[in-house]
Amino acid sequence: MKSEPILRFEGIIKQFPGVVALKGVNFELREGEVHVLVGANGAGKSTLVKILAGVYQPDAGRIIFDGKPVTMKTPEQAFEMGISIVYQNFNLIGKMDIGQNIFLNREPLKGRLIRRIDWERIYSETQSVLERLHVNIDPKSKIDDLPVADLQMVEIAKALAVQSRILVLDEPTSSLSGQETDELFSRISQLKEEGVAILYISHRLEEIKRIGDRVTVFRDGEGMGSGNIEDMSVQKIIKMMLGRDIKKIYPWRARETGEEILSVNNLASSNAFSDISFSLRTGEILGISGLVGAKRTELAHAIFGALPIGSGQVRFKGRTVEFRSPKDAIHAGIGLLPEDKAKHGMFEILSVASNVTSAGLKLLKKGLGLDLNKEKGVVEEYKEKLNIMTPSTKTQIESLSGGNQQKVVLAKSLFTNSEVLIFDEPTKGIDVGAKEEIYNLMIELAGNGKGIIMISSELPEILGMSDRILVMKEGRVTAEMSREEANQEKLLEAAL
């Protein structure tokens, strides 16, 4: 068995404003092995990959490649060293065909006098790479016309079309079917035989056993340990991923919950989720946990009328409702605080005041215009109540911090008298202090009888804030548990 270390990271540190992404990582990749990298969201896996790709430069530490210290300053440099990376999100050009994409910027030329692109060679080589992957697609198919699973295979083919020494696969199976996964795995085994070092990043613990030779677990920017696959049980890996106790920053306290305000029955939406049922009471905080891609956001959008419902029912305040658009949902009394605030939650160039009232301008109607004095009064009130830190209510929301923006988005939902509030990743990208304030507000709102649904990928947040927890996986509910029953292991097991 070949086991020369081809690449070694020694004490790699990488800082970003406000966070240390990698805190002195040591890591080793050997020829002809599949090395699996696992870790929760934000553990530092993607930062490590980006350093390897030449996208980021480490702040400290050494990278040893083939026994010599190296620096990879640009993606091209990494590519020339034989490092191929298949990112989780595709870097394909939709308007071009497969061959064009695979040979982009390395088009072979032919002809002595007039050098021109050798298209026949591009398509025949593309054909043979696709055949090696057992993918049966025409190399001249346009990317835009292909289903997602094929795109993943094209990305992999792109990496395989060159002789790589290191192949990085970031969640390669997340959009593949079982059979395609098998093909990919047999291709990976073949590459292993050829001596290629493979760095495999995955959330799917069952895959690790199948494909991996060694595992390294990441947590909070540190390698928690590496080991041969035989020595690592799934339980052990999960323990290493989670580790620490949940800090007591959550202001949760026992509350009286009232009667059912929202219920969902066998709800399904094509291509997203199916068979979803749950209910929510007034004063209750229902946490929805799961991995990225579990279709939780889609569920929220469907309840909110932003995504068509295929079948099933939504009942709100005892009546079956059919929201054709978010407008209907807002009017009925449901508020959504979207995950992507900038895209779905606010008007970046408008003022704080305009943002707060944007969903409920009806309430400000006065004659033919708007009662701007009333707006000013109302918004000042929210600014006070939610402690929104802004120089003035006329300030553009863009210039506020993430936490304060979130409070403005919350005020927007409160202004329209929402009785059910759906928080989608409410503390994503905001600092600890602001997080605590958001938590306090959620508890206060629940105390005032609002029903709250909180979608979060942060396990501690789910455990710390929810009265009851649903876990979703690939568009289905895989577990429901009370606050008392829940712990990290149970949530992870249901989500993976």
Residues lying near other proteins in the complex (CB under 8 A): 75-76, 79, 91-96, 100, 104-105, 107, 109, 115-117, 145
Find out whether 234 and 254 touch, Cβ atoms under 8 Å: no
The residues, ordered by sequence, that sit 6+ positions from 165 with a Cβ below 8 Å of its Cβ are 6, 31, 81, 82, 83, 195, 196, 197
Least distance to other proteins, CB of residue 91, Å: 4
Least distance to other proteins, CB of residue 69, Å: 24
Q: Which is nearer to other proteins, 116 or 385 (CB)?
A: 116
Q: Which is nearer to other proteins, 103 or 250 (CB)?
A: 103
Q: Which is nearer to other proteins, 474 or 493 (CB)?
A: 474
The residues, ordered by sequence, that sit 6+ positions from 200 with a Cβ below 8 Å of its Cβ are 34, 35, 36, 37, 169, 172, 188, 211, 212
Least distance to other proteins, CB of residue 483, Å: 35
Least distance to other proteins, CB of residue 405, Å: 26
Least distance to other proteins, CB of residue 14, Å: 20
Q: Which is nearer to other proteins, 95 or 343 (CB)?
A: 95
Least distance to other proteins, CB of residue 116, Å: 4
SS (H, E, C) the chain: CCCCEEEEEEEEEEEECCEEEEEEEEEEEECCCEEEEEECCCCCHHHHHHHHCCCCCCCEEEEEECCEEECCCCHHHHHHCCEEEECCCCCCCCCCEHHHHHCCCCCCEECCCCCEECHHHHHHHHHHHHHHCCCCCCCCCEHHHCCHHHHHHHHHHHHHCCCCCEEEEECCCCCCCHHHHHHHHHHHHHHHHCCCEEEEECCCHHHHHHHCCEEEEEECCEEEEEEEHHHCCHHHHHHHHHCCCCCCCCCCCCCCCCCEEEEEEEEEECCCEEEEEEEEECCCEEEEEECCCCCHHHHHHHHCCCCCCCEEEEEECCEEECCCCHHHHHHHCEEEECCCHHHHHCCCCCEHHHHHHCCCHHHHEECCEECHHHHHHHHHHHHHHCCCCCCCCCCEHHHCCHHHHHHHHHHHHHHCCCCEEEEECCCCCCCHHHHHHHHHHHHHHHHCCCEEEEECCCHHHHHHHCCEEEEEECCEEEEEEECCCCCHHHHHHHHC
Q: Which is nearer to other proteins, 24 or 75 (CB)?
A: 75
Least distance to other proteins, CB of residue 271, Å: 8
Least distance to other proteins, CB of residue 47, Å: 17
Q: Which is nearer to other proteins, 436 or 474 (CB)?
A: 474
Least distance to other proteins, CB of residue 94, Å: 6
Least distance to other proteins, CB of residue 431, Å: 29
Q: Which is nearer to other proteins, 66 or 145 (CB)?
A: 145
Q: Which is nearer to other proteins, 77 or 478 (CB)?
A: 77
